[in-house]
Structure 1
């Protein structure tokens, strides 16, 4: 079949159209929005991952802290962003719990996002200053029982707040919740003696252990953490069936193309295999737990069921 001049001119344009519709990713720096203040475990994790990804990408991953409203301020930016892979967020598991803790959420924590990957497991630890008049969980509970309301318990988001109040509920003590914007700020006050105790991640606690002014009283999970193997769990210290932990997950806006999600997972796999990043994780007290988007979605749905039941039982109070 003979083609006319017009057909020959149109053919290259037709062949080029699909390529133009699928620009290479990333075509500019990737914003990784951390909806919490600097210095906390999620911030440290994100910055370490961003540095590890730098040699693997043509453009850098720029970590941007947008703290406020229990993580909602920064997370909403991602929910409203174009689903082109250039705006992502790393959130803790209370991203889901906020649905039951806050009076208003400007997005659906599940359906308005694309789960990209699980990044880490967050074992929470109960940190106390060495100047406090208690050296273990039993002594803290006894002191709090004898001094109602005097053992303020620091928290940084809904999960750590829930863990603190759940421990108080199960042990029959009164420990007012003292809220912080990040684990780094919480730990600074523990070290300085301004805050009696606080629930925070191993990543937030680890940098302060060399000061000699901090001790870990308990961990929140059923098994001990490898970062503080000498510290018994709350269960071991008499709080039956106490097993609460969180995670950090990487999310993009809803309708993020599967090709970009797959590319991100491949890059993360390369970064996590790097011995340098593995060493940084260990030094910072981070428990890496890299899993793909479907596993993160399953964890999010599980959290949704868990917190819905806790709210129905009255164990989660709406923020006023």
Structure 2
């Protein structure tokens, strides 16, 4: 009996194995929709499109970036939270994806539980920019100007993190600087260049294309150390605001309940690009700080940020929008 069953079992296994391999190698079987829940031309959009271009020769299907802006990133993120976890709908977000639950009055999803982490992609250092036509050329001079003109020196932001950075700086400096919300870093920078906006906090990616024009200057960076992309720009700490160290990240997420093997396949494919020296040079040219971390490290960072923003909200430093 045993001798007769073995060939059947082996045959069944042999038939099953090609199906498993085929299922694992089938991704992607159609174009992958990468949702960026912010307007086009911002730093996250630029990074996502650069990644899509780099993946083109590697994958049999294209990565198609789709901008679905609205609700501080909620509109596009909700679409991914409700999508099928088959690897053909992905999300590229900034760290305010986690912060939004403390910044917005309500959320249609849980920023951590309702997504599958794929990988952290980059570090998002924020820079304070202003036009060279403004009557100040340093952070200290800007603060003095804002004190002399209370409420008249607005500071632009594009999402919850840059808004928090701007208002936290104003709070610690003891000045009133109204937050001016923009849909993307590209739009913010256009108004900086045109002189319509006195100052703004944005990513190094958004600021980089404008620095060579001579019409924009970087007054400060948000982290404890200077960014290699603007080495002459001092930190906020260097200019008298102690222990000021704030930054974000850009990450790739997927719909919830994705098969771990598929998530690992996607992460490995993306890491292959981020480990490529030519793509790394491309990131440098764009002003992007590479900080690739696998899914467990991304999840840990998201949980850590959640604790930080919860404490900030409890202290009254983050207030939900009305």
Q: What band does the TM-score fall into relative to the shorter chain?
A: over 0.9
| One of 107, 114, 117 as aligned partner of 2:116 | 114
| One of 306, 313, 316 as aligned partner of 1:314 | 316
Q: Distance in 1 between matches of 2:303 and 2:160?
A: 17
Counterpart for residue 226 of structure 1: 228
Mind listing any 5+ residue stretches in structure 1 that lack a counterpart? none
> 1:83-102 residue pairs with structure 2 within 5 A?
83-102=85-104
Q: Distance in 1 between matches of 2:103 and 2:265?
A: 34
Q: Distance in 2 between matches of 1:272 and 1:68?
A: 29
> 1:48-59 residue pairs with structure 2 within 5 A?
48-59=50-61
Moved more, 102-111 or 275-284: 275-284
Q: Distance in 2 between matches of 1:185 and 1:245?
A: 21
TM-score relative to the length of structure 2: 0.94
> 1:147-296 residue pairs with structure 2 within 5 A?
147-296=149-298
Counterpart for residue 62 of structure 2: 60
Matched-pair contact (CA < 8 Å) for 2:24–2:262: no
Q: SS in structure 1 opposite 2:229?
A: coil
Root mean square deviation of aligned Cα: 1.9
Q: Distance in 2 between matches of 1:199 and 1:232?
A: 15
What is the CA distance between 1:146 and its match in structure 2?
0.5
Q: SS in structure 2 opposite 1:211?
A: coil
Moved more, 49-58 or 13-22: 13-22
Q: SS in structure 2 opposite 1:55?
A: coil
Spell out, residue by residue over 1:135-188, the C-alpha distance to the aligned partner (whole angstroms, 9 max, x if none).
Answer: 000000000001001110000000000000000000000000000000000000
Q: Distance in 2 between matches of 1:296 and 1:88?
A: 15
Counterpart for residue 129 of structure 2: 127
Distance 1:61 1:132, change over 3 A: same
Q: Distance in 1 between matches of 2:50 and 2:17?
A: 41
What is the CA distance between 1:19 and its match in structure 2?
6.0
Counterpart for residue 34 of structure 1: 36
What is the CA distance between 1:273 and its match in structure 2?
2.5
Q: SS in structure 2 opposite 1:56?
A: coil
Q: Distance in 1 between matches of 2:244 and 2:216?
A: 23
What is the CA distance between 1:205 and its match in structure 2?
0.2
What is the CA distance between 1:265 and its match in structure 2?
2.2
TM-score relative to the length of structure 1: 0.95
Moved more, 167-176 or 16-25: 16-25
Q: SS in structure 2 opposite 1:166?
A: helix
What is the CA distance between 1:276 and its match in structure 2?
2.5
Q: SS in structure 2 opposite 1:122?
A: strand
Matched residues, number: 317
Distance 1:172 1:13, change over 3 A: same
Question: Which of structure 1's runs of 4+ aligned residues deviate more than 3 A?
Answer: 10-23
Distance 1:164 1:19, change over 3 A: same
Counterpart for residue 303 of structure 2: 301
What is the CA distance between 1:263 and its match in structure 2?
1.3
Q: Distance in 2 between matches of 1:17 and 1:197?
A: 57
Q: Distance in 2 between matches of 1:15 and 1:45?
A: 38
What is the CA distance between 1:261 and its match in structure 2?
1.7
What is the CA distance between 1:23 and its match in structure 2?
6.6
Mind listing any 5+ residue stretches in structure 2 that lack a counterpart? none
